[in-house]
Amino acid sequence: MNMMPFLSPRGERHIYSKPDMEKYIKAISQWIDGIPYEKAFWNNVYRWKQTFNGMMQWSNYGGIIDLECFDANRFLSSCTSCKPKVLDVGCGLSYATGNYIEINGTKTALDLHYVDPLADVFNDIKKRYHRNLPDIEFGMVEYLSDFFPRHDADLIIIQNALDHSAMPIKGIQEAFSTLKTGGILYLNHHPNEAETEQYKVFHQYNIDEENGKLIIWNKTERSIIQGLLGAHADITVTRHENGHIIAIIKKLSEIPSEEYLSGHDRMQICHALMEVAGKLKISYTLKSSLKYTFYNSVQFIVQALPWEAKMRIKKLIKQA
């Protein structure tokens, strides 16, 4: 394992793996392996009326934006933008984020963008079941500043998604670059989900809190985000009573470009993507189709069950 220390602008040290092609190819390949399950899950959430309605009742779509441990309405109401720009990154098909703010009793629509790398898949599902909801926009957190202008967003929300990405540290850097100075990156995640899910498919990274520090780690690397962003950010990390790890990262100033992953590293990621794409031959496509068929059959049954039964099954699976 090629590990090296990194000295942050604040003088703190944290450890990360030196980027290399092998790491990128493995991360991207594992992420692609998780797509059939994700597709099958959402297909069956949207297929069944009771499951879809249950999700929308839980969702805050059509309402005032409301986030755990953060008064997003108050923050966005104080922004200089007449229509604050919000990115909900890795949103899936949940539409969990409220799309309005309320100022002096007046409800105002946000400039809200639902962003996910599986946008095409999700929009097809939405269309198949005639769900009248906004389209998901294609975007990858690892390249967020290539999909949206730099220094442009007031609030970026990532909930239960950063630890599912192929390169979460790169994702934080890109989200930070896309924010305006004074903007907020809001993270809300289950703790150490890769450990819980035994490092299967999308679950390759853990997010945790240690002594007020935001930690992203797995079996080969460990990063302290306060060390990564240094004096350029104000970071508050809490462990909510429900166990969720919530980080509110306020951008205080721009990070000099040399402190981000270099252009060489960006090229390595592109090469890794191309190499993985080159391996997606008929055998892989067939394997992916078979996986989707299996997961879709399982989810067809599971999502048809009452909510209480699904929770009992999920608990039994985790205990097994």
Residue-wise burial string across 14-39, b where 16 or more C-beta atoms lie within 10 A, e elsewhere? bebbebeeebbbbbbbbbbbbbbbbb
Question: Residue 278: what pLDDT?
Answer: 58
102-124: per-residue pLDDT in tens?
988 899 999 999 999 899 999 99
pTM greater than 0.95: no
Tokens of 200: 């299967």
Residue 3 — pLDDT band, cuts 50, 70, 90? Answer: very low
Least confident of 12-21, 52-61, 232-241: 12-21
Query: Comparing C-alpha atoms, which of 140, 141, 120, 123 is closest to residue 132?
Result: 123
Q: Are 186 and 155 in contact (CB under 8 A)?
A: yes
How far is residue 109's CA from residue 57's CA, in Å, rounded to a whole number? 20
Question: Residue 311: what pLDDT?
Answer: 57
Residue 11 — pLDDT band, cuts 50, 70, 90? Answer: very low
- CB neighbours of residue 307 within 10 Å: 10
Q: Is the pLDDT of residue 156 over 50?
A: yes
Question: Residue 294: what pLDDT?
Answer: 73
217-266: per-residue pLDDT in tens?
999 889 999 998 999 999 999 999 999 999 999 999 998 765 555 555 55
How far is residue 9's CA from residue 5's CA, in Å, rounded to a whole number? 13
Tokens of 320: 């097994």
Is the C-alpha dihedral spanning 292, 293, 298, 301 positive or negative? positive
CA 236: distance to chain centroid? Answer: 18
Question: Residue 309: what pLDDT?
Answer: 63
**How is 264-312 classified by DSSP, letter by letter?**
HHHHHHHHHHHHHHHT--HHHHHHHHHHHHHHHHHHHHHTTS-HHHHHH
- CB neighbours of residue 285 within 10 Å: 10
Q: Which one is predicted more confidently, 111 or 30?
A: 111
Q: Are 83 and 109 in contact (CB under 8 A)?
A: yes
Residue 95 — pLDDT band, cuts 50, 70, 90? Answer: very high
Look at residue 156 and give its three-state secondary structure.
strand
- Which uninterrupted H or E stretch holds 180? strand 179-189
Question: Residue 272: what pLDDT?
Answer: 62
Average pLDDT score over residue span 305-310: 64
Residue 135 — pLDDT band, cuts 50, 70, 90? Answer: very high
Structural domains in the chain?
3-17+60-267 (3.40.50.150)
